[in-house]
Chain A
Amino acid sequence: MQFFDATTLLLVNAVFNALAALAWALLAGVFKVAPRACWVLAAAHLSRIAALRCYECRLLSPLQRLPWLPELFGVLTLALLCLGVQRLLRLQADSRPVLLIAGTGMLAVLGIGLAGRTSGMLIAGSLTGFVLALLICRDILVGARPTMAARWVLPLSLPYLALAAALVWRGLRVLGGAEQVTPALMMWLWLLLSLASSVSLIALVVHRLIGRISQLSLHDPLTGALNRRAINRGLQRLQALRQRGHPYCVLLLDIDHFKAINDKHGHAGGDAALVHTVQVLRQGLRGQDELGRLGGEEFCVLLPYTELPAAAEVAERLRAHLASHACPWKAGKIAFTASFGAAQASSDELRSDAVLMQADRQLYRAKSSGRNRVCVEGEDETEGRDPPPSQPPGA
């Protein structure tokens, strides 16, 4: 290991962290990607430069003669990383525990360090750092798991697990009263950890951007329901399953007298009604059902593994739910209803469009026979399934 020069390794690490801080600042300031998270992470990288330390280096800044100073910055770096990762993953986590742990640790380091007990200070620093590194690990595992494949999540949390292990190792060595480790080896370790943690952070940013893109390209921006493209894709998938014998149904629904809502409450009121509709419908659906907005005030529900009678029940439940829950708007409420058409896909139809057209015919029937009702394919035209026609919506 005498091949390698500890001072150079320290400088390389410092330069790397300075460039990383610059990159995060650019992300926050120029590109406006997750600005709060990125500013915090830029600060974390700057703080890490101050935390770098090497006992046997030729090059020591005056500040590094105070043994507790790099230790303080080390704890600060990890606290900032923890807060940054939480914001990057949009965790609604409380930042107080992190601040509490970091604050206590920094006070302990400062107190013991000023008392001149170097080994006690190093142990306090290692312990705090260990806890914070594990917190980052947990945040990545908990925060990224729902939207990321396991083969990515584990490698991303690995750098922080390694950091926690390295801090335990350092603490144990100090406890055992060991001499300083060969500095070059330690410097290699810190450099590798710096690099790995940056790589992990880059992956988290990319993940966030890609998640946003897929969210935007498959969802309706106003209501958050699936858009036309996503519904078409879902239909094709279900039609393929249908060929293998799994039934599915499609519900189409259209808000009654939507134009009256728009005229009376303005476009903002109409938008609120649409958002409210999606919220109400979601409560009545299973996790595997898919809800989409086809355009305007027309929505579509895909019910996998469902036969027509069950689908008619679901539609009736949704209709009643929607009719009994008015949309809160300003001081008052907007009451409205919707008409439903239900259809089951047949297995001999190759095109997924056909079931949509059948459902559309039923929806048209529901509209023409008085609205606020469910019409089902193959049902007697005169059969009354629903309560009497509703009045046009009023406030």
Chain B
Amino acid sequence: MLEAQPLTLLATNMLFLLAAALVWAALGQVLSGNQRPALLLALLNALLAASLGGNALRGIGPDWLTFWGANMMAIGSFGLVRLAVPATLGEQAPWWPPALVVAVGGLVLALLPLRSDWTPVVNFTCMSWLMLSSALHAWRRLRQRLRLGMVLAMTSPLFLFAGLLLLRLVQLLSGHTTRLRDTSDANVAWLWAVLVMCLVLNATLAFWVLMRLILRIRRLTERDALTDALNRRAFGELLVREQAELGRGRGHALVVLDVDHFKRINDNLGHAAGDAALLHLVQVLQGCLRESDQLGRLGGEEFGVLLPLSDQAGAIRSAERMRAALAAKPLQWQGQAWPMSASFGVAAAAPTDSEAEGLMLRADKALYRAKELGRNRVEVG
């Protein structure tokens, strides 16, 4: 007779894992361009479910499947966790380190007798190692981009899972036996923990995927589709923010520029060349800017550069650098070089500007003067 309560927990956990596998597989169909993590996650959930099922059938099914097979599937699914974590974060990570761990684990398990007391030890060593390294990897990568609290919230489920596996390993080393169908309180507690952790692990990775989708949406709303520079609205909001900081003694400057005779490029070489010219311009400008400087496309062929912590002299130097770089690098279009230049208007923020509009207006006027005075030059407003 099988024991009801552990079996119920095992069956529900398998149900959840299979449902998760199904959802990830469907997501993989829908998320074009982001399929790899979803398919890895579908596979790892299915493997984990199969491993639990195999484990539950110990003593009923053939030994090689319920012992060696179930252990291998468990290690394999955690190897997939190690692959899915970087993939979900949008990185290319080499596949061979986790594969090596799985292969070595599989080899050791194959050399041990099937029902040996040491097989669970090997099993849990591999699993906790893979989980811990996944958690550490996620921690390192996310720490580069996010605040500490956010990183803690996003990676703690992975560390918790790794801790749980390590706890189990310690238990095993101190002589406990593991039988998932055992009705002891300790085993029921372990099964509950596994159930909750499987749900939480899937939810965590789903939130990572979701966060990337949201970041993509934010990027689309803030950036110009062609050049990837900030769009007019986002750039305007940035100016307003900087203007508000001005009262605290942080000066900033604005450079506005307009490509000279842009219409000629469009008319002579076609719209595709016009687009290429704008991309070329942005590339050249980015090369002249500091990390904290912000480039925005104000419309058509007009761009703005916000220089935080900068005065008028510094802004003129920056604008002159950009002008010279652009004049020195002609646009390459279908094998021929097309010279490009731009006119620049510079203005430093003044507390007398009641709003960001004032600064923009002065820079605009300077740009207009640069155009009047013969183009390809920098003027100050």
Contacts and interface: CB of A to CB of B under 8 A. Distances in A.
B220 interface: yes
B26 to A, nearest CB: 7
B4 interface: yes
Q: Number of contact residues on B: which range applies?
A: 35 or more
Nearest to A6: B8
Nearest to B7: A3
B271 A357 contact: yes
Contacts of A26: 207
Interface in A351-384: 353, 356-357, 360
A8 B5 contact: yes
A216 B221 contact: yes
A19 B203 contact: yes
Interface stretch (B10-18, B95-103, B246-254): B10-18
B337 interface: no
Contact of B4 (A2, A229, A296): A2
Given A3-B4, A4-B11, A195-B19, A206 B200 contact: no
A162 interface: no
Interface stretch (B110-118, B210-218, B316-324): B210-218
Interface of B: prevailing SS:
helix
B327 interface: no
Contact of B30 (A4, A33, A195, A210): A210
A202 B207 CA distance: 11
B270 A213 contact: no
Contact of A209 (B5, B203, B213, B270): B213
A191 interface: yes
A295 B195 contact: no
Interface stretch (A9-17, A84-92, A97-105, A127-135): A9-17
B271 A353 contact: yes
A213 B217 contact: yes
Interface of B: 2, 4-5, 7-9, 11-12, 15-16, 19, 22-23, 26-27, 30-31, 195-196, 199-200, 203, 206-207, 210-211, 213-214, 216-217, 220-221, 225-226, 231, 233, 266-267, 270-272, 275, 299-300
A12 B217 contact: no
B300 A295 contact: yes
A153 to B, nearest CB: 13
A227 interface: yes
A26 B210 CA distance: 12
B195 A12 contact: yes
Nearest to B216: A213
B10 to A, nearest CB: 10
A96 interface: no
Contacts of A295: 299-300
B30 A216 contact: no
A3 B217 CA distance: 48
